[in-house]
Amino acid sequence: MTLINGSRLIQKFILSLLGLAAIAVPGRAFQMAAELPSAAAAGSPSFGVLHGIAKGPNGQSVLGVQVTVQNTDEKIKRTVVSGSDGNFLIADLKPGQYRLTARAEGIGAAPPATVEIAQNQVTYANVQLAAAEAPAQPADAPTPDSALKTRSVAPPVSESSVAAELAAMKARIELLEAELIRQRSPERIVTAAAKMAPAVEPAPAPAPQQAAAPPAPAAPSIPEALQSPESTPGVDNFTPFAFGDFTWLNGTPRNKDTVLDTKYFTPEVRFDTNFMVDANQPIDHTIVGATESFRSGEVQLEQISVGGDFHWQNVRGRVLYMGGMFATTTPRNDASAGVGQWNLRDAYRYVSEAWGGYHFNVNHGLNVDAGIFVSYIGLFSYYNFDNWTYQPSYVSSNTPWFFNGLRIQWFPTNKLKIEPWIINGWQSYAKFNGHMGLGGQFLWEPKEWFKLVANQYGFGQDNLGLPRTERIHTDDSILIRYYSKPESLGLSKMAFSLTADAGCQYGGGLQCTGAPSKGKSTFIGWMAYDRMWFHKDRYALTLGGGEMSNWGRYLTLLPPIDGADAVSGTPYFTENPGQRAHMWDSTVTFQYMPRQYITWWAEVGYRHSDVPYFAGRGGVTPPGGNNGAPQYYTCSSGATSGTANLGAAESACGGGSGSVWFPDLRRSEPKASIGVMVKF
C-alpha cells in the first residue's frame, strides 16, 4: 500500500506504535477490523481476517501459542504467536477454507479445525490446547507437587516464536494502515455509532467448518447535531478576544465553558432570585428609581431566561426569552410604545435578545446582525450574573439596556472591534419621530488585563411629542486588572473600572448649555468600582458607586407612581426642561462563587437625591390601588381627579389641600439585599 504525500516512513512508525497498542488493548484493534467492509471502496484489495484467543487446558489465556492456518488450494501457510492475553490475529488472508492448528511447547496442541475466511470480514475462532501426555518418568523423578514448585508457569519462548510475534505485529500494522486509508476515503460509510462502540470480547468460535458469528451491533450514538464542536488547539490567536481570559471583566459572564455545547446550537439558561429590604419600609413594598431593585421584603424572581446561539455555515442567530420582573419593568421605561398601534410592549415583553445575521470571513471576522440586541452603554451587563455588583450606579441604570435595529461588528484584529449601529432609537422598540438613531462602539483589549471601550450615540429624535429635538451621548470606560495570582488561597485578583458619561438634547426649545430656565437638557455622570477576589477567585468583594446630574430629567427613571410609565408620565415627578435631578450612590457587594455557574451574593447600598425621589413609608400606590390614570392627580379617596393641574385637581377632589393624595417620596434610600444567580 502507498500512503498519501510520500510520508510512508513516518506513518509506518505511527502505525507501529498503534500496533503495539493493539497488542496491549486488542479489543479496539479487532473492533476496527470489524469495520473493514468499506476498505474495498477506498481501493484496498479484498482480504479477510482471523482473530481468536488461545487458551490452555484449564481455559486460561496463554502467551506464546503458535497458531497456524493453511489453505491447501492456494498453498498458503501463515503462523503467528498469541500475545500476553492469548489474543492472536492473522490479517490479509485470501477468502477460502483454512486448516487451523495450534501448539505450545510444554503445554500441548489443539485439535485441528477448519475455518472459512470471507471477503472483507473478520472470522472469530478460539483454540484450546489439550494437555500433553506425560512421558514415562524414572523412579527418582520428583512428585507432581514438587514439579509444580520447580517448573515456570509461562512456557519458554523460542527464537521462532519471537519471529512469529513480529509477523503478527506486522499484520496488525497493515490492518491499521488499511483503516487509515479507509478513514480518509470520501466514500467512508462507517457511522459515528460504529466508531463509538465499546470493545467487546469476540464470541466463542462455532463448531468446525461453520461460519463465524458476525460482529456485535454498534451501540447507539449521539446525533451529529448534539455533538460538541471541535476545540481549538492551543491559544486561539485568530478568534477575537480569545487569546486571553477576560472573564474577570465587569459586565462579562465569568463562565469559562458551557454545560452543553453543540455544533449547531449553544444553549443559555439564567435564573436570578433576590430578597431586598428597603430601610424606608414602603407599605406597598415598591422600590423606586432602579432597573434591578423593584420589591421590598419579598422573594422575587428578577429574571428567568432560556435561549441560546445558533451557528452553522456562517449563518448565526441568538434568542433569549425573558420572564420574571424584567419582563414588566424593562418595557415600562420605553416611551416609543406610545407611537402608533400594535402594542409593542407586549410584542417584545418576553424577549431580551432576538437577532439573526451572517458572519463574513473578513480579517478576523465581520458580522451583520439585525433584530433586538443588548446595549453596551453603561458598562454593566443587562444581566446581573455578569456584573460585579447587583445594583449598578445611575450611569448604568439610566442608560439603555437594549437596541432594536442593525449592527455591524468588524474585527480588523483579534484585539479590536469596531461596531456601528443603525437603530430605532435610545432603548426603543419603535422610532419616536423622523430620525432613527446612529451610534457605535469602539472596543480595544490589547492585553488580558486591560479593556478600553467607547460607545457613542447621536442623530436620534428620542422624545415623545418633541419631533425637532435630537440627542447625543458619549459613554467611555476603562478596566484594569492590576493584581493576579489565581491559585492563591488568599488575595487572588484585583481590578477596577472607571466610567464617564456625558450627553444632551438640543433643538425644539432645548439646549445643551446655558441657564436651566432656557430649557437646559444635559446629562453628566461617572461611576467607579474596585473588586478583590479571594481563595482562587471563589469569593469577591466589590466597593464602588457613582453620581449623575441630569438637567431636564430626560434620562432619570420615572417613579411608578399610580402605575406611571414613560408614556403616561406623572404630575408628581415631572420631567420638564431645566428641572434638575442630582443623585449619587454607593454599594458594598460580597459574592460567593463555588462553581462557575452560580453566584450567591449579599449587598448593602445607599442612594441619595437632591429632590424627593425614593419611596418612603407611605409608598407610591394610591388608596385602593392604581386607578388607571397615572397622568393625573389622584384624590385622597383613590379616585382620579382627571387633571394634571394641581389647583383644578383640588377642586375636582372636593377642595382643600388635603383632598389630593400625594405619594411619600424621600431623598435617601438605604437598602440591604441577598440573592442567588445561576447561568448555564
Distance CA 625, CA 209 (A): 92
Distance CA 372, CA 379 (A): 18
Q: Which of 172, 196, 213 is the last residue of a domain?
A: 213
Let me know whether 185 and 321 are in one domain.
no
| Cα–Cα distances in angstroms (integers) from residue 130 to residues 15, 103, 105, 211, 396, in the given order | 36, 9, 12, 23, 86
Cell of 396: 448604568
Q: Which residues of 127-160 are buried (b: 16+ CB within 10 A; e: fewer)?
A: bbbeeeeeeeeeeeeeeeeeeeeeeeeebeeeee
Let me know whether 194 and 290 are in one domain.
no
Let me know whether 43 and 106 are in one domain.
yes
Q: Which of 384, 192, 422 is nearest to 291 (CA)?
A: 384
Residue 157: per-residue pLDDT: 44
Whether residue 466 lies inside any domain: the answer is yes
Q: Which of 195, 42, 210, 184 is nearest to 114 (CA)?
A: 210
Residue 259: per-residue pLDDT: 84
Cα 113 versus chain centre, distance: 59
The torsion defined by the Cα of 491, 380, 475 and 293, in degrees rounded to 10, comes to: -120
Residue 15: per-residue pLDDT: 39
pLDDT tens track for 360-377: 999 999 999 999 999 989
Cell of 13: 512508525
Whether residue 233 lies inside any domain: the answer is no
| Cα–Cα distances in angstroms (integers) from residue 280 to residues 184, 283, 287, 619, 657, in the given order | 72, 9, 9, 9, 25
Sign of CA dihedral 650, 655, 657, 662: negative
Residue 214: per-residue pLDDT: 58
Distance CA 438, CA 216 (A): 64
Residue 167: per-residue pLDDT: 57
3-class DSSP assignment, residue 517: helix
Residues of the chain with pLDDT under 70: 1-46, 72-74, 133-228, 230-234
The torsion defined by the Cα of 259, 263, 264 and 269, in degrees rounded to 10, comes to: 10
Torsion region of 536: left, alpha or beta (phi above 0 gives left; psi -120 to 50 gives alpha) = left
Mean pLDDT of all residues belonging to the chain: 83
Whether residue 250 lies inside any domain: the answer is no
Let me know whether 568 and 649 are in one domain.
no
Q: Which residues of 63-84 are buried (b: 16+ CB within 10 A; e: fewer)?
A: bbbbbbbebeeeeeebbbbbbe
- Spatial CB neighbours of 419, under 8 Å, sequence gap ≥ 6: 407, 408, 409, 410, 440, 441, 442, 443
Tell me if 51 sits within 8 A of 202, measured CB to CB.
Answer: yes
Let me know whether 13 and 117 are in one domain.
yes
| Cα–Cα distances in angstroms (integers) from residue 668 to residues 53, 280, 673, in the given order | 84, 9, 16
Whether residue 467 lies inside any domain: the answer is yes
Most distant pair of Cα atoms in the chain: their distance: 137
Distance CA 35, CA 359 (A): 38
Residue type (1 letter), 104 = A
Distance CA 480, CA 447 (A): 10
- The DSSP call for residue 470 is E
Let me know whether 396 and 293 are in one domain.
yes
Residue 63: per-residue pLDDT: 84
- Residue 636 is part of which domain span? 621-662
Whether residue 223 lies inside any domain: the answer is no
Cell of 171: 499484520
Residue 220: per-residue pLDDT: 59
Let me know whether 397 and 419 are in one domain.
yes
Residue type (1 letter), 35 = E
CATH of the domain at 38: 2.60.40.10
Residue 29: per-residue pLDDT: 36
Tell me if 435 sits within 8 A of 470, measured CB to CB.
Answer: yes
Let me know whether 578 and 633 are in one domain.
no
Sign of CA dihedral 664, 668, 672, 678: positive
Q: Across-strand partners of 90?
A: 50
Cα 190 versus chain centre, distance: 31
- The DSSP call for residue 391 is S
Residue holding cell 418633541?
466
Helix, strand, coil: what percent of the chain each, to 5?
Answer: 15, 40, 45
Let me know whether 543 and 669 are in one domain.
yes
Residue holding cell 449553544?
266
Whether residue 147 lies inside any domain: the answer is no
DSSP string, 185-226: -TT----HHHHHPPP-PPPPP-STTSPPPPPPPPPP---GGG
CATH of the domain at 376: 2.40.160.10
Let me know whether 204 and 286 are in one domain.
no
pLDDT tens track for 444-465: 999 999 999 999 999 999 999 8
Let me know whether 640 and 559 are in one domain.
no
Distance CA 664, CA 605 (A): 20
Let me know whether 643 and 668 are in one domain.
no
Whether residue 426 lies inside any domain: the answer is yes
- Spatial CB neighbours of 134, under 8 Å, sequence gap ≥ 6: none
Per the structure, the count of domains in the chain is 3
Whether residue 137 lies inside any domain: the answer is no
